[in-house]
Structure 1
Amino acid sequence: MNHPQLDMAAIQRKLLALREELQAESASSESSRETVVLDQTSVGRLSRMDAMQAQAMAKAEEERRQRRLKLISGALVRIEQEEFGECIECGEWIGARRIEWDPLVLKCIDCAS
């Protein structure tokens, strides 16, 4: 049974919207994750270092997006299996306000601390 105090349809819509937003961000930032071309003649050393740092930051951001997309997929599966809202550690219900604030949360406040 899903969390009794939550509107599962609203949570599901929120998760789907978040997934769509993350996928759009991922698609739009694809070029910033491409390998930095090291052309010694056209770009100075500091500019290349800046470009490499920007690339590393873009890759880290993409990894964060991919982790969140996995959490969203897991949450949608738990809704389908009617297990959404249960703490993965103790099995008790996660607080409704906690889930409404962050529907990707996996643990109740006691187990998370």
Structure 2
Amino acid sequence: MKTIEDPEIVALFKNSLERELIETIRLIDESREYRAPVELDQQSVGRLSRMDAMQQQAMAQDINRRRQHRKIAIDRALNRIRDGEFGYCAGCGEPIAVKRLEIDPTFEACVRCAP
């Protein structure tokens, strides 16, 4: 039975989190041009095209916010691994089920304490 006390399990989560962090940072960097301000030159772009560009910019900014939040959550999980606190509920201190961490290794609470 897999438990969070198993160092090999924690190492697997750490590797997975590190890979996801690298990919998240890459996606944040790549989307920089889509989040740039929309140029409002009326000679080169029609009104509907500007509105479409502004909508795409807003969506890119929202996606970036979510990626930034995910990056923070991954960083926090990696810090908990480093500090030996990974896999333990921040609320009650009990181990978080490995199955729950397999869904999302950034979870900080067990099912009972989760909001």
TM normalised by structure 2 equals: 0.90
Q: Distance in 1 between matches of 2:90 and 2:59?
A: 31
| One-letter identity of the residue aligned with 1:59 | Q
**How many pairs are equivalent?**
112
What amino acid sits opposite 1:7 in the alignment?
I
List 4+ stretches of structure 1 deviating above 6 A: none
Cα separation, 1, equivalents of 2:92 and 2:47? 53
1:4 is the counterpart of 2:5:
yes
Deviation at 1:104, TM superposition (A): 0.9
Alpha carbon RMSD of aligned pairs, Å?
1.6
Q: Which amino acid in 2 is paired with 1:109?
A: V
Q: Residues 82-106 of structure 1: CA distance to partner in whole angstroms, max 9, x if unpaired? A: 0001111222211111102210111
Of the candidates 22, 25, 31, which is equivalent to residue 23 of structure 1? Answer: 25
CA apart distance, 1:8:
1.2
Equivalent position to 1:86, from 65, 88, 103:
88
Q: Deviations over 1:39-82 (max 9, x none)?
A: 11121111111111111111111111111111111111111110
Whose relative contact order is higher, 1 or 2, with alpha carbons under 8 Å and at least 6 apart? 1
Identity of aligned residues (%): 44
Q: Tell whether the 8 Å contact from 2:4 to 2:97 is kept in structure 1 after alignment.
A: no
Q: How far does residue 3 in structure 1 lie from its aligned partner after superposition?
A: 2.6
Once the two structures are superposed, the pairs formed by residues 25-104 of structure 1 within 5 Å of their partners are 25-104=27-106
Q: Is the 8 A contact 2:90 2:108 kept in 1?
A: yes
5+ long unaligned stretches in structure 1 = none
| Structure 2 residues not aligned, in runs of 5+ | none
